């Protein structure tokens, strides 16, 4: 019984790790406290398609993403909001 309880606690503690900015997520509860799980969009002409979700924040411009790190820029989404997205290192 003690072994079973320890295994359950160990699995629960592994599942409670919060994801950092730029990580793939399914829900805001997956992300670190200051982040939300937001859509990542891909545009083809005037068509917008959600291609995934990432832990991030909303933004108005690239400068508003600077708190997440130098590799984050502000991108349009399929809604009126914009979201910070991680780009490749230079």
Q: Using 50, 70 and 90 to split pLDDT, how confident is the model at 9?
A: very low
3-state secondary structure (DSSP) of residue 15: helix
The answer to whether 25 and 54 are in contact (CB under 8 A) is yes
- Tell me what pLDDT residue 17 has: 87
In the chain, where the domains are located: 18-86
- Tell me what pLDDT residue 3 has: 34
- Tell me what pLDDT residue 71 has: 94
Alpha carbons within 13 A on the beta-carbon side of 20: 5
Residue with the two structure tokens 């599942």: 15
Of 3 and 56, more confident? 56
pLDDT digits (tens, 9 = 90+) for 25-80: 999 999 999 999 999 999 999 999 999 999 999 999 999 999 999 999 999 999 99
């Amino acid at each position: 019984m003690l072994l079973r309880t320890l295994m359950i606690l160990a699995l629960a503690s592994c599942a409670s790790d919060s994801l950092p900015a730029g990580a793939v997520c399914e829900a805001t509860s997956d992300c670190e406290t200051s982040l939300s799980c937001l859509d990542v969009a891909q545009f083809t002409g005037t068509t917008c398609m959600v291609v995934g979700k990432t832990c991030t924040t909303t933004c108005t411009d690239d400068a508003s993403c600077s708190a997440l790190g130098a590799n984050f820029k502000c991108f349009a989404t399929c809604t009126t909001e914009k979201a910070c997205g991680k780009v490749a290192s230079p």
